[in-house]
Structure 1
C-alpha cells in the first residue's frame, strides 16, 4: 500500500472509528446504566450518563488518533531512519549496509533505488581496486620486460668495450644479439603503445564489409609460403558458396590473425608446424577458429591468457619471449568489433583460438 493510500485511510479512520466507537460506547453504557442497573432517565443518573459518555468520547478520540498516528508514522519513519543510517555509513566508506526491501510503497521504491546505488558504488570501488592492482602489475611488468633486454644490451656493449669481442666473428655475433634485443624492445614498446591506445579508445576503427573467405584465402597463401621452409602447413576450411561477409576494420582484423599466428608459432614444438583456419556461418555472426598443433595450454591458464602481460611460462624468461600483450590486444580489437574471443586447448595437442564477428545480412 502506498503512503498516499495509507494517509487517506488514516484520515478516514480518524473520523469513522471515533463515530463507531461513540455509538458502541453509548449503546453499551446506556444498556448497563438504564437496563442492567435500572437507572433513571432523568436527574443524577442522566447527568452521570452524559458525563461518562463525554469522557468515553475523549478517550476514544485520543486512543484512535494516537494508534493511527503511531502506525502511519512508524511505517514512514523506520525506513527513513534506515536510509539515514545507510547514507551515513556510505559517507564513511562502508558499502556493506543493505537497505533492500520488499515493500511496494514510495519509501520501498526509494530504498531499492538507494540499494541499487549502493551496489553500483560498491562495484565501482571494487573495479577501482582491481584497476589499481592491474596498473601496479602493469608497471612492474613493463619495468621487468624493459630492464631484462637493456641489461643484456649493456652486457654485450661492455664486452665490446672491454675487448672481449676480439675477432670479427665475435664482434658480428655481439652486434647481432644487440640488434635482435633492441628489435625485441621496439616490438614490446610498439605493443605497449598500441595496447594503451586501445585501452583509452584512441585508435579509430574504419569498418567496411570484408569477405572473410577471400581475406583468409590470401592470408593462408602467404602463411603457407612462409611455413614451407620449415615443412609446415597452413590450411583454410570453409564453404566457398556460403556468405562470410562481416563488418570489420581490415587492418585491425589482419593484426588479430597475425598476432594469433605469431603466438602459435612461438609455442610450436612439433617438427611439422600446422595452422588451420575454420570458418562457420551462424545466424547473426561468423565464428572463426584458428587451430595449431603446438604445445597446448594448461587448463588453469586458459581463462587468463587474454589478460595483459599474462604468460603461461611463469619464469617470464623463456626462450619464446614475447610481450604478453598479443592476446590482450586481440581481445580489445574483437570487442571493439562487437564480437567475443575465447580459447580451447589440450596439452601436447595444440590450441584453438576462436573469435566471432557480426555477419552482414545478404
Structure 2
C-alpha cells in the first residue's frame, strides 16, 4: 500500500509532461530560429534588403520596410505561426499516447476483460496487473471481488449438490418401505375374505409400524441439510425383535426370489443403536440383493462382543473388481448407467449410516460367486452417542 501511495497517476503524468514541455519548448525555439533564418535568406536574395543580425524580421514588417510583393516571406512567417501550436499539439499527443500505453492500457484491458468474464459467469481466472498505481490497486480489488464471488458460487454449488444428493437419497430410501407396504396390501388383497380378525389386526399393526417409521425417517431427513448431518437416536430393542422385523421385511422385499434367514444370538439380548437407521441399511441391502440375485437371497444376523453384524447374500454374478473399488462412490451404478430408476446411492448411504452408528460395511463375493455385503453396528449403550 505504501508503494501504491507513491505511484499515483497524476504524479506519473507530471513525470511524462516535464520532458514533453522541454521537447516542446526546444522545438518551438528551433521553429522560430529556422523561420527567422529563412526569412533573412529570402530577403537578402529576393529583395536585396540587408537586415542586421540584431534586428528581428518581424520588426521590419511592422515598420513597413517589407514590400508587398514578397509573398513568400509572409508565407514563411505564417507557417511559423501555424507550426508552433501544431508542434505543441503533436508533443502533447505523443506524450499522452505513451503515458496511456505504459501506465493505463494494461490495467484497463485487464479490468475490461475481467468485467466481461464476470458478467458471463466465468470466474475461473485470475486478475493480474503489473501496474503499481491506482488502477493496479483497482485490479487487486477486482481479484478480491472475483475470489469472493467464486467462493460464494462454489459454496452455493456445493449446497445445491448436497441438496440434490440428499433428495436422491431420500427418494431412494423411500422405495423399499413403500415396497413393504405394497407387499402387505397385496397380501391383504390376496387373502380377502379369508383373513381372520387376528391376522387382519396383525397386518394392520405391521403396516402401521412401517408408516410410523416412515414418518420418523421423513422428519429426520427434512431437518438436515446434508446426509453427513444425520445424528443417530439410540433406542433399545432385543435381538429377537430385530430378527423378526428383518425376516418380515426380507420376505416382502424378495417377492419373486427365495428368501432365507439365519439368526445366531440370544433373542433376549438388548441392542442399543438407532433402529430406524439399522432397518434402513438392511432394507437397502436387501433391495440391492434382489436386483442382482438369480433366484435366492439370504440374511445372516449375529453378534460378536459389542457389534451386531448383518450379512446379505445373493446367488447372482457377484461384484466385479471395479465395483469392489468404486461401489462406495455416490451415484456409481456399474453397468447400469442407463437405468434411470437406479440412483447408485444404496451402498453409499448404507456405509454412511453404518459409520454414524459406529460400524462399517464390507463387500465381498461368497463361495458360490454371488455378492455378499456385511454391515456392522455398535450395539453398546453409550451416553455420548
Give TM-score, length-normalised by structure 2: 0.47
The structure with the larger Rg is 2
Using the size of structure 1 for normalisation, the TM-score is 0.50
